[in-house]
Structure 1
Amino acid sequence: MATLFFDLDGTLIDSAVGITRCAAHAFERLGEPVPDDATLRSWIGPPLRVSFAPLLKDDARVEQAVEHYRERYETHGWAEHTIYDGIAEAIEALYAAGHRLAVVTAKNEPHARKIIASLPFGHRFVDVIGATLDGRLSHKPELIAEALDRLGADARDCTMIGDRRMDMEGAVHHAMRGIGVLWGFGSEEELRKAGADIVVARPSGLAEVAA
């Protein structure tokens, strides 16, 4: 059976509240204007440093912002999420079908592991691969490479499942199949332009296309 890599934010959980509140907290701590909600929501998916850099335009300020973001995320933000309807059932069905499941996310790995451990289906994932705290690993192609290495997997036998273009671009980079999902933060147009092989509208559709 296939090895399935799941994105976290926008794929397994709706984490918009936690992410946007922590980003706003970082700007407030720096004495900077807080971007509007639409701008902050667009940050769900990319690495934090990539999102902060164009607005702060200074590497030292970006690092300060990341630290301020993390301080609130550690205490509050990690738990400010909801599980998408149907995801628990989809994960259980995929597990029962014999697929190997793992999480590959641009969220830093300690926080990602904390979230996955709190989910009722978190034990179905064999590993959680996330960004390093220093940013050395933060982009999807690098994270997928790390996942392939850790699991000893062949990209030809793997599928990346996610809601943003970064997930699909990571899949394309490794010549693996990419499944885009529409219940998260990316549009069908974004996903298809980024190279999604398949786009599904509901979690229940994953079992049909993941074989």
Structure 2
Amino acid sequence: MTAIFFDLDGTLTDPKEGITKSIQYALRELDREVLSGDDLEWCIGPPLKQSFDQLLGNPSLSDDAIALYRRRFSAKGLYENAVYPEIELLLTELREKNIPLYVATSKPEIYAIQIVEHFKLDKFFERIFGSELDGKRSNKAELLEYALSETGCCPSKSLMIGDRKHDAMGAQHNGMISVGVTYGYGTASELKTAGVQHLIDKPLDLLDLMASL
């Protein structure tokens, strides 16, 4: 195995509280209907602009909504987050195998770095790849293409681990091995429909999967 790329939200950490509360803040400031946190779970994973386009029904308002979201998220929301059980043990085991590890998230890189450092996970990763604040590389396929180019990793010998269809489709586009996690915010059905090659139900299952590849 050349390398392993991990999604962040719904894969390494559970960001529900911070993301949904920041979306609610933006909707409230725009005098729009404020949905419950549970009703906003589908927004965890896709690029933020796609979520606001759908929530608002008016793409011209999405930039304002994103600015409001980031006002709260950068100050508070990014810390309303928790590392999933078994993640630290998994990362420790993988590092002991000398496998290079990377984060590849559609979240802006500046926030992803802060989150990873806040939870002291940065010691496990060679580099954290994310989007730009202007939306550049928020598409997972584009992001992974960039990450593979920057690292020189062989796509066919690299794993992409994620919980949403965008992760599976991005991996497939770049010829990577895709692994879907069912403990995040995407369903097994969503991942299978997107063409995911393997599924795991908990983080440490990845070790057994790798032994069989």
Q: Which TM-score applies when normalising by structure 1?
A: 0.96
Instruction: Describe the superposition over 1:102-124 as per-residue Cα deviations: whole angstroms up to 9, x where unpaired.
Output: 00001111000101112233211
Q: SS of 1:196's equivalent?
A: coil
Distance in 1 between the 2:36 and 2:124 partners?
37
Q: Which amino acid is 2:205 matched to?
A: G
Instruction: Describe the superposition over 1:41-60 as per-residue Cα deviations: whole angstroms up to 9, x where unpaired.
Output: 10000000001012324344
Q: How do 1:38-117 and structure 2 match up within 5 A?
A: 38-117=38-117
The residue that corresponds to 1:4 in the other structure is: 4
Q: SS of 1:42's equivalent?
A: helix
Higher mean C-alpha deviation, range 109-118 or range 37-46: 37-46
Q: Shift in Å at residue 176 of structure 1?
A: 1.1
Q: SS of 1:180's equivalent?
A: strand
Change (3 A) 1:76 1:48: same
Distance in 1 between the 2:166 and 2:69 partners?
21
Q: SS of 1:210's equivalent?
A: helix
Distance in 1 between the 2:183 and 2:56 partners?
31
Distance in 1 between the 2:119 and 2:125 partners?
11
Instruction: Describe the superposition over 1:160-201 as per-residue Cα deviations: whole angstroms up to 9, x where unpaired.
Output: 001111100111111211011111111111111111111011
Q: For the aligned residues, what is the CA RMSD?
A: 1.3
Higher mean C-alpha deviation, range 192-201 or range 54-63: 54-63
Distance in 2 between the 1:9 and 1:162 partners?
8
Higher mean C-alpha deviation, range 30-39 or range 108-117: 30-39
CA contact 1:88–1:120 (8 Å) conserved in 2: no
Q: Shift in Å at residue 137 of structure 1?
A: 1.4
* Structure 1 portions without partners, runs of 5+: none
Percent of aligned positions with the same letter in both sequences? 36
The residue that corresponds to 1:197 in the other structure is: 197
Distance in 2 between the 1:116 and 1:61 partners?
30
Q: Which TM-score applies when normalising by structure 2?
A: 0.95
CA contact 1:92–1:121 (8 Å) conserved in 2: no
Q: How many residues align?
A: 211
